[in-house]
Amino acid sequence: MNYQGKIIKATGDEVTFKLDREFDAEEARRLTIKGAPEFNVSIVDQRNITSDQSGMIYGLFGDISDYTGYPTDFVKAWMKTAFAGFKGIEDFSLARDAMSQVMAGDFIEFILEFCLENGIPFKYQQFYLAADISRVLFLYLKYRMCFVCGKPHADIAHYETVGMGNNRKHIDHRKHRFMALCREHHIEQHKIGLKSFMAKYHFVPIKLNDQTIVSLKIMTASQLQQFDRKESRNG
């Protein structure tokens, strides 16, 4: 059973909908094993893909084409097929009136991660940072690429001060935000100070969940458990 509709009233976790057709209560009861029928509600993104997003997508197609030697049309079809398989959806159009901003953002992130996984360079580094900044920078952090210039093998730096001489094994890194900086920009950050550095390059540090902190080898699972036990005793 699928319905479309509009929200008429919303108060806390109680929402009233006006459906596109009469609700079939008998069919709902037939599909329900016990209790009241359950629903999944999704808000439809009515905003179309922006010209910036479209430019990013086709720019990335061009970067992949330049690196691999495959024609741009082939790269476009390749990326669309891979993304559709990843999302479990049918073929889709990149036309302005056929793609939402949210789906375009997901597609950009998918192509960016493909490029980062395969070492495909970006022709215009800062251009691609104009996407969903937090999602893109997370990929840069994941693949150890400098937030500023995109160089590989970057350091994972703390945004909040750790302190000179502190043993990092004794720090709960979950309370910190992170950024990936190449050696050159990491040195510059310490030289000119964090406030001036952030004002100069305009990016945001990333907060990481427990699973990501372990996967990036910032902390081990056992270290997380030790801090949890410590907080439990103190709390």
173 confidence band (pLDDT: 50, 70, 90): confident
Give the residue with greater pLDDT, 93 vs 1. Answer: 93
pLDDT tens digits for 143-158? 888 988 888 899 988 8
Q: Which two tokens stand for residue 157?
A: 């730096």
Query: Which pTM value belongs to this model?
Result: 0.58
The pLDDT value given to residue 165:
46
Using DSSP's 3-state secondary structure scheme, residue 179 falls into strand
**Could you tell me the residue ranges of all domains in the chain?**
1-44, 46-131, 133-235
In angstroms and rounded to an integer, the radius of gyration of the C-alpha atoms of the chain is 23
DSSP category for residue 162: -
* Sheet-wide strand order for 155-158: 155-158, 177-181, 206-207
Which phi and psi angles does 113 have, rounded to 5°? -65, -35
